Every structure is written in C-alpha cells, then in structure tokens.
Amino acid sequence: MKKMFFYIVLCFMISCKQTVLTGFQDKPVVESYLYADESPTVKISKLIPATSDMVLSDMDLNKLSIAISDLTSGEKYTLTASGDGLYANKELTISAGRSYELSFPYNGLEVTATTIAPAKPQNLTLSKNSITIESGPGMQEVVEMDWTNNDGSYYFVYVKNIETIKIPIDTHNPNGKDFFRDKPTNSNHYELNPRSFKFYGNHRVILYRIEPEYVLFFQKSDNSSVSISEIAANVENGYGIFTGINSVSAYLYVGKP
C-alpha cells in the first residue's frame, strides 16, 4: 500500500514519458526505491536517441546481470528479471540502518549506486485526529504535525484520501486531486493546510524519511516537464535514482461542519 502512495507522488512530480536527448550516449535509466522491511525491486529502461542515425547498444534490458550488495553484511544478491526491465530478489529484505549498493555492467561501463535504508521516523503526532472544513471562505482548523528529528534528517509529507466514495468539499470543483504533498524538509514540524484537502472522510497522513539523493532528485524533478531520464541523482554511468525509504502513518478525519 505504501508503495502505491509513493508511486503516485512520483508520477505527480515527474513526467512519465521517456525523454529525447541530444549528445546521445547509451546509458541505462535506473529507478529503485528500497523500502525497509520489504524486498527490493529495480526498474531499468533506456534513453531515446535524438535522431535515427544514433545507434543504441544491443543490451537486452531483461538479460542484465544486476546485483544488490548489503555493504553492512558483505552479502551480494543477484536479481532476477520478470520482464519489461523489472528485477527483484525475494531472498533479500531491506533492513533499516544498512547500506546497499546496486551494480551491473552496461554497454562497457559499470553502473553503480549506493544508498542507506533510513530508520523509521520517530514519535509522529498530530495535534488533532479530526477536523471540520467548510466549503466556503472562513477560518479553518490547522493540524500540526510533529516528530523527532535530532540529526537533521530529511522528511517528506504525503496525505491521501482513502475513502472509496469521494465526497468533494467544494461541490463546484468535484474532480480535485485526492492527495497532496510538500517539498522535502529537514524540520521536525509541518502544518497541514485545510485548503489542501479536497474531499471529506478519512485521510492517511504519511511521513517518509528519505535520503539526500532523493532530495536532489526532487529538486531536479519538481519541474513537471523533466523526465527521470534527465536526472542522475546518485547513479554512476547512468541516470535515475537508487534510494532508501522508511515511513510511518497517522490518520485524520475531515468532516462537515
């Protein structure tokens, strides 16, 4: 479930289309988010050359020798392809606090990336478990989020309406987004703006703890015209991102006055 929420965030942040690049050099595009206590998956895709006379390598995206190493224990895990450039290994479970390295050869180069699976956010609290929001103008209730952040780590807030039947707050705008998020922060406090909620009902409030490479990725991809294949957050000899994530959730009910 938390992966689904996170992928929605990513689709909101970046264009899902591949990008046509000039000055073409055939390098892979990596997309991998290591969730603590889950098995990893890695998605590999290709760039698109700008003109037909630029030659792609003959690398088969489903026949790459992809591995993830647990740098803390020294163990190395080979990933298995399942089609469409997607790789996984169910024998590896990502552990919070450990370092991981992705590696595989591609077009004569060694593609590598390292990250840490961060610890779970601690002591998340909401100042209220429920609020009421009026459909028109007027003073609205603000919800304060607080958590422990003694080391200046980065966090990311994402809020999603989880009702099956969506009841819009503004009946004149019934097709608003049922989620919202804000940019990464290294604070320990966040205010949920009542005007950001578009629907009544139960909401899942997720606090993600993220690594610095994701902050860089966010900053570069915040422009919706930018594709992941234009970003090299922490991938050597490639594009994309390989990063660790951990999260906790709270729940908030938005009701009518």
Domain containing residue 201: CATH number: 2.60.40
Clarify whether residues 87 and 174 are in a common domain: no
- What is the reported pLDDT for 19? 43
Give dist(CA 257, CA 135) in Å, integer: 9
Contacts of 107 (CB under 8 A, 6+ apart): 26, 27, 28, 57, 59
Verify that 228 and 139 share a domain, yes or no.
Answer: no
Q: What pLDDT shows up at residue 16? A: 44
What is the rounded CA–CA span in Å between residue 27 and residue 47? 7
18 within some domain = no
Predicted pLDDT of residue 15: 45
Same structural domain for residues 7 and 107?
Answer: yes
Same domain, 27 and 147: no
In a domain, 228, yes or no: yes
Same domain, residue pair 53 and 178:
no
Task: Tell me: do 227 and 114 sit in the same domain.
Answer: yes
Range of the domain at 134: 122-210+248-255
Residue 104 and residue 140 in one domain: no
**What confidence score (pLDDT) does residue 26 get?**
81
For residue 56, being part of any structural domain is answered with: yes
What integer pLDDT is reported at residue 119 of this predicted model? 97
* 27 and 96 fall within a common domain: yes
Distance CA 110, CA 115 (A): 17
Q: Look up tokens 């073409």; give the residue.
A: 24
Instruction: Please tell me whether residues 133 and 234 are part of one structural domain.
Output: no
Low-confidence ranges of the chain (pLDDT < 50): 8, 11-22
* Residue 151 within any structural domain of the chain: yes
Q: Would you call 223 exposed, middle or buried from its count of C-beta atoms within 10 A (0-12, 13-18, 19+)?
A: exposed
Predicted local confidence at residue 6, as pLDDT: 58
pTM of the model: 0.85
Shared domain for 171 and 53, answered yes or no, is: no
Averaged pLDDT score across all residues of the chain = 87
- Number of structural domains (the chain) is 2
Q: How far is CA 156 from CA 1, 98, 173, 209, 250, in A?
A: 17, 20, 27, 6, 14
Query: 35: helix, coil or strand?
Result: strand
- List C-alpha distances in Å: 69 to 34, 66, 100, 246: 12, 10, 6, 19
Neighbours of 238 (CB within 10 A): 24
The first and second tokens of residue 38, run together, are: 């889950």
